[in-house]
Amino acid sequence: MTSDPASHGLIQWHGTTIIGVRRGDKTVIAGDGQVSMGNTVMKPNARKVRRIGDGSVVAGFAGATADAFTLFERLEKKLEQHSGQLMRAAVELAKDWRTDKYLRNLEALMIVADKDTLLVLTGNGDVLEPIGEIAAIGSGGNFALAAARAIADYESDAEVIARKAMAVAADICVFTNGNLTVETV
């Protein structure tokens, strides 16, 4: 997620690429490891994809790291409150994210998945089920999404699609690298 540094009076952490691909009974979320500040790579191996709750949900984030951790914690609480039902927990988180004065200012997007569901969550209160069971976010998200959609007609393995799409994004987006974290549910 990007923002104009001049509008905040400081340099913002910028860019990442996260992709979620669902094929059959397998869902993969992959994310790159690059953390950039302005034009500088601050860390090449961050983990932006992780298991949450009891491990049956995988989530990846693009945006400010501290904001993403706040959202991970909130989603975990919602999963506990709603007996692990991802769709219900995601809708409740989106409601809070949109209406809560503190949460409304968080700058992050999330892709979340369990064995049945793949969703994109936004601070606008959106809970989106992607077309074609492929979703991508972040500065390289459109590159990864386009590559994954092109590959999906010829490849049935979700992990292969995600890895190839991330490689394309890393080749094009300067805020994305090839150090991947890949989680499967």
Which residues are annotated as catalytic? Answer: 16
Report the alpha-carbon distance of residue 18 to residue 138 in Å, rounded: 6
Q: Which two tokens stand for residue 85?
A: 């039902």
CA distances to 9, 25, 45, 74, 170 from 122, rounded to whole Å, are 25, 25, 24, 14, 23
Phi, psi at 130, each rounded to 5°:
-70, 150
Report the alpha-carbon distance of residue 57 to residue 50 in Å, rounded: 9
